[in-house]
Chain A
Amino acid sequence: MDSEPAAALEISALVKTFDRPAVDGLDLSVKAGEFYCLLGPNGAGKTTTLRMVAGLLRPDSGGISIFGIDALRDPVGAKRVTAWVSDEPMIYDKLTPFEYLEFVAGLWSIDSAEADARARDLIGWLGLEPHAHERCGGFSKGMRQKVALAGALVHDPKLIILDEPLTGLDAGSARIVKDVLLQRVRKGMTVIMTTHILEVAERMAERIGVIDRGRLIANGTLDELRRRAGREGTTLEEIFLQLVAEQEQAA
């Protein structure tokens, strides 16, 4: 019997340079079934890293392994178990949420009966029922984000990567999104999320990584980060600002 690899994501010596190094020899490991938050100041390399993991950018060098699948050698295999949700939900204005989910199910070759049932569940959980057969063109950002999230979950990925999924959402929508993600983690899904809302990371993440100038400068549970910063009982915000300031000084 195949045993599930311990790591959902293994990144080793990852490098990506545009006009300057965006990701600079990054090493990162995320356990299977973990809720992991990746934090960092603007331009730190979070989105670039996650876009490479999702197969949207080709790294200059380094390795990416998703549940033991080499994402650079077998991108289709890696994509089969992964979902990506960007901060700007890109959905089709002329399709309804149901049609959008049917399209996504088609792209991932999911059996129609299975996908149909999942889609109805997701539409219900995310509170999209009244708008399920309306075209997405007139939807608010929150509704679009929920449709995009439903699209990411309809093929039941083992790893979901979300880039700033809560930006611009009202409190109610943000709560729904967070609840759905926590419920999925309980069922064994791995979630990797970037966010600038540090309270969310503090409350939801099992482990937190801090990235700056393309390098991982801290990684661990909140308590481990507190110990590393030498500030027991303090907030993640204080720790984050201290870590980034130390990094700035060192540079």
Chain B
Amino acid sequence: MQPATIPWFVRHELALAWRDWFSMMTAGKPGRGLIVAVSLLLLAGFLHLLAYGMVASYAGVGDNPDKTTLVVITGCALLSWSLMLSQAMESVTRAFYARADLDLILSSPAPSRRIFALRIGAIAVSTVLLAVMVTGPVINVLAISGGVRWLSAYGVVVAMGATAAALAVALTVALFRLIGPQRTRLIAQIVAAIVGAIFVIGVQAAAIVFYGSISRIAFLSSDIVASLTPDTDSLVWLPARAALGDQAALAITMMFSFALLSTAIAVFSTRFGDHATAAAGIAETRVRQRRLDGFRTVSPRKALRHKEWALLRRDPWLVSQTLMQIFYLLPPALLLWRNFGDETGALTILVPVTVMAAGQLSGGLAWLAVSGEDAPDLVRTAPISPRAILVAKIEAVLGAVAMVMAPLIIAISFASLQIALVAMLGIAAAAASATAIQLWFRAQARRSMFRRRQTSSRVATFAEAFSSITWAATSGMLAAGSVFALAGAFAAAIILFLTWTISPSRDAE
């Protein structure tokens, strides 16, 4: 193969992407390939079953859909698209700032425009692949139940991915020009996180405000939305029509998106190298802190707690990533506001959402404190027992969770003391469980690896999620006065026990 040509670069990029993905899936242990393959097949089967339960009854939607159908399909597509845009922005930011092979590429005589054009294309492909993995089971179920016309939804997913990649490149470059390379890194990552959540939360918030319901579908199929949206013959509905099997609509949708992506590649690949060079040239921001009046005498545990909180407070990117989980509390908070004081039923819905968020938040914070220690040698050579170090870190995590959750609990207590107590117990159980799981599966890593923490242990990630879900369900049932809460607590205990039995920390004992 001729070196420095497009196919040569494609082969190089594909080899790197494959190795990166394989290493991520197997957590760097090649022997796990077969296990990963079987797990993926099982997961695919499970997702298809799940999709069957969710969407099979909609497979019969006709060729001439009404406005409500178009609104619901377009709304769901927009939800996915906002996530795709978020993912693409993350990828573009990483492409700009990751040093990796940039020095080699830019110092070689090979035309850098080609490789940057290819990298924008690769961002589009990876965005599409992830979206296909998520939506694939839904589309397959619809195609099996309602006919092959549904397969054209794959074309819509591809078009959405291409559009998201094009817009992500444009947005990131615009940020670069507007605020410079120094600040773009942080702002772009925060914008990406917000973009990914805002539409989901916005629709849910609207549903709560107008209907007192947390259901997005209920809102999308409401009369208010129908009255605010264009008629069924509008071009706005082309992607929805394309998804339903309208081949002409599909062709237009795909042509539009590919034209957009091609334009983005043509316009931005030339400047991509310049921006990457500018990003490489920036030094890390020098930030001056308030002068210390003098040292305070503190115990080692207190020193560790304060250090954890200071590091968290001073890292806007980590704060944004961690607090995105709290952002998802906005809809239930709205629910609380709307039903304040009189409807205990609505409060019952709030409890599991709060508990779930607390579990997820604790998992993230516990990873940062326990695994994401940037000076492990310093801490381990200090004259403190390992147990005291762990206790201090757990205190730091639970303290932070308590600080975040306390205002919500106080607000609930004005409406119902009993439900506030249940929520508090649920939060404590979910936070303690998530922290325990992170302790059992701790593995030293840099804090900057936070975004990829889930890949270091799939078991820990799933265990953390299942534990939070189970505690959320338990708390919800307890708030509703159901005796099944006992079963929920028992299930949570079983999950924790099973997780502990397969955890590496138990092997080490």
| B289 and A135 within 8 A (CB) | yes
Residue of A nearest to B303 (CB): A106
| A92 and B307 within 8 A (CB) | yes
Chain B residues in 8 Å Cβ range of A54: 377, 381
Complex interface: stretch among A37-45, A74-82, A177-185: A74-82
Count of chain A residues with Cβ under 8 Å from any Cβ of B? 41
| A95 and B307 within 8 A (CB) | yes
| B375 and A91 within 8 A (CB) | yes
Chain A residues in 8 Å Cβ range of B385: 76
A28 to B331 Cα, complex, angstroms: 65
Chain A residues in 8 Å Cβ range of B289: 96, 99, 133-135
Complex interface: stretch among A14-22, A110-118, A187-195, A232-240: A110-118
For the complex, is A104 an interface residue (Cβ under 8 Å from B)?
Answer: yes
Known: A95-B307, A138-B283. A90 touches B288 (CB 8 A): no
For window 31-82 of A, CB contacts with B under 8 Å fall at: 54-56, 76-77, 79-80, 82
| A102 and B295 within 8 A (CB) | yes
For window 208-246 of A, CB contacts with B under 8 Å fall at: none
Known: A103-B307, A138-B283. A80 touches B297 (CB 8 A): no
A239 to B480 Cα, complex, angstroms: 81
A143 to B309 Cα, complex, angstroms: 24
Count of chain B residues with Cβ under 8 Å from any Cβ of A? 38
| A107 and B374 within 8 A (CB) | no
Which of B288, B296, B303 is within 8 Å of A133, CB to CB? B288
Known: A90-B376, A107-B379. A134 touches B287 (CB 8 A): yes
Chain A residues in 8 Å Cβ range of B287: 134-135, 137
For window 11-67 of B, CB contacts with A under 8 Å fall at: none
Instruction: Give the interface SS of chain B, mostly helix, strand, loop or mixed.
Output: loop
| A76 and B292 within 8 A (CB) | no
A109 to B291 Cα, complex, angstroms: 22
A84 to B380 Cα, complex, angstroms: 10
For the complex, is B494 an interface residue (Cβ under 8 Å from A)?
Answer: no
Chain A residues in 8 Å Cβ range of B303: 102-103, 105-107
| B383 and A108 within 8 A (CB) | yes
For the complex, is B178 an interface residue (Cβ under 8 Å from A)?
Answer: no
Which of A76, A116, A135, A137 is within 8 Å of B383, CB to CB? A76
| A107 and B300 within 8 A (CB) | yes
Which of B283, B291, B295, B381 is within 8 Å of A105, CB to CB? B295
| A111 and B292 within 8 A (CB) | no
For the complex, is A94 an interface residue (Cβ under 8 Å from B)?
Answer: yes
Tell me the minimal C-beta distance from B474 to chain A in angstroms. Answer: 37
A126 to B249 Cα, complex, angstroms: 70
Chain B residues in 8 Å Cβ range of A108: 300, 382-383
A108 to B380 Cα, complex, angstroms: 12
| A146-157 interface bits toward B, Cβ cutoff 8 Å, 1 = contact, 0 = none | 000001000000
Residue of A nearest to B302 (CB): A106
| A84 and B377 within 8 A (CB) | yes
Chain A residues in 8 Å Cβ range of B314: 94, 135
Chain B residues in 8 Å Cβ range of A83: 381
Which of A90, A96, A119 is within 8 Å of B374, CB to CB? A90
Residue of A nearest to B312 (CB): A94
For the complex, is B284 an interface residue (Cβ under 8 Å from A)?
Answer: yes
Tell me the minimal C-beta distance from A190 to chain B in angstroms. Answer: 16
Chain B residues in 8 Å Cβ range of A102: 292, 295-296, 303
Q: Can you identify 8 A-B contacts, CB atoms within 8 angstroms?
A: A84-B377, A90-B376, A92-B307, A102-B292, A108-B383, A135-B286, A137-B284, A151-B378
7 residue pairs, one from A and one from B, having the closest CB atoms: A106-B303, A107-B382, A112-B297, A138-B284, A80-B383, A94-B314, A112-B295
